[in-house]
Amino acid sequence: MSANVTIAEIARNAGVGTATVDRVLNGRTGVNSQTERKVLQAIDKLGTPIVTRGRPRSKGNWKFAYVLPDQHSPFFDQLERHIAQTAGDFRHQHITEITYRLDAEDPAEFGLALGRVSGCDAMVLVAPDVPAVKLAINEHVRAGMHVVTLFSDVAGSMRQAHIGADSRAEGRTAGLLLGRMARPGTRSVLLLLSTATRMSNEIERRIGFAQVVEDRFPALEVLRLTDVPTDDEAACDYLMRQLGGARDADRISGAYAVGGASTGIAAALAQLGLTTQAPLIAHDLTAIHQTMLVDGSLAFVLHQDVHYCVLAAARTLRGLCENIRGAPSVVQPRVEILTAENLH
């Protein structure tokens, strides 16, 4: 490993241009994840080039906390794995990461536990939008810690940036897809299904879905069931009670799972004979959702690039720690519509 390796040598080894290497070294956007990995592998092989231009580093290394809800969720489990898998990339950015899973059953207790997280320069946070969480964020920021929210925002807090897809646009996309497939007159009811949540991204999805159905499909009715249990078996039983009795299942044209319990929701739709009659939309390409797309129990998955978001959060926090102008400006991920035919 050379002590005086240059950017040009890194570029030649990685098979990219020097501008691309410069972007990776400075944590700027515009480099896809595969190319970034090539550059980081070249740096790992040859060494980190000495770059003297720009603002000097004020510190050798940074310690970043990733704080996630500790709840039964394939998505949060997958997110934690993404953070662990990218630890090598963090190392090349002079970052040490530590992941915390805090009990989110009581949002107020989550906020108190969040306030006790210490010893870090910065924090990436996925949290419910409640006063106790806002208070903890503000106290951390006043104490000098930088805070970025991930996927679900905590508006009104002193957090310095938010990274994640436009949640209201996600809901509108789901409403548009189901509305176009509906058959008003025979099947005119769309199910809007979510757990009892304080996550702002799920609340925004519900708003977006209802908005687009009301605006563009006035002949359709939205049936809101917003107390779906988080456990899949309990969710299935709950929906069977709600839809198998007084509700006329034959009127259901589609279903939108805003947050979790998608497996239980799909099971209930199957028991009601609605799998092919009422397409189901859910979020995030987890392993179970990939299987459900293939077997037909899910029609669409709305997805955002989780790997990009994890790295973008780290880049943003590093820029904030180094006082780089414009660090909170982030290119937000786009919403992908995934089907059984375009999985990759």
Domains 62-164+306-332 and 167-303 are alike in CATH topology:
yes
Give the model's pLDDT for residue 30: 67
Of residues 191 and 72, more confidently modeled: 191
Per-residue pLDDT at 1: 43
Find tokens 């006063």 and name the residue.
131
Task: Give the residue, 257 or 275, on which the prediction is more confident.
Answer: 257
Mode of pairing for the β-strands spanning 221-225 and 161-163: unpaired
* Structural tokens at position 316: 């943003």
Per-residue pLDDT, 324? 85
Token pair belonging to 303: 């997805």
- Whole-angstrom CA distances from 258 to 93, 153, 218 are 35, 16, 21
If you classify domain 62-164+306-332 with CATH, what class do you get? alpha beta
Q: Which of 71-85, 111-125, 189-203 has the lowest mean pLDDT?
A: 71-85
Could you report the per-residue pLDDT of 263-293, keeping only the tens digit for each? 999 999 999 888 888 999 999 999 999 999 9
pLDDT per position as a tens digit, 297-327:
999 999 999 999 998 998 899 888 888 878 8
Greatest Cα-to-Cα distance within the chain, rounded to the nearest angstrom: 75
Which band of pLDDT confidence, cut at 50, 70 and 90, is reported for residue 218? very high
> pLDDT at residue 171 above 90?
yes
Task: Please give the average per-residue pLDDT across 164-173, as a whole number.
Answer: 97
Most confident residue range from 24-28, 33-37, 195-199:
195-199
| Per-domain residue ranges of the chain | 7-46, 62-164+306-332, 167-303
- To 5 degrees, how large is the angle CA 339–CA 342–CA 344? 120
Per CATH, the architecture of 167-303 is what? 3-Layer(aba) Sandwich (3.40)
pLDDT (0 to 100) of residue 125? 96
Q: For residues 124 and 114, give the distance between their C-alpha atoms in angstroms, rounded to a whole number.
A: 11
Q: What pLDDT score does 310 carry?
A: 92
- pLDDT value for 87: 75
pLDDT (average), residues 209-238: 94
pLDDT reading at 40 higher than 80: yes
Does position 108 have pLDDT exceeding 50, yes or no? yes
Supply the mean pLDDT for the chain: 87
Give the residue among 332, 324, 329, 339 at the shortest CA–CA distance from 308.
332
Structure pTM?
A: 0.79
pLDDT of residue 59: 53
Give me the mean pLDDT over the 90-109 stretch: 86
Does residue 3 have a pLDDT over 80?
no
Give pLDDT tens digits for 46-76. 777 655 444 444 555 889 999 999 987 889 9
Identify the top-confidence range among 28-32, 67-71, 130-134. Answer: 130-134
pLDDT score, position 145: 93
Question: What distance in Å separates the CA atoms of residue 94 and residue 82, rounded to the nearest whole number?
Answer: 18
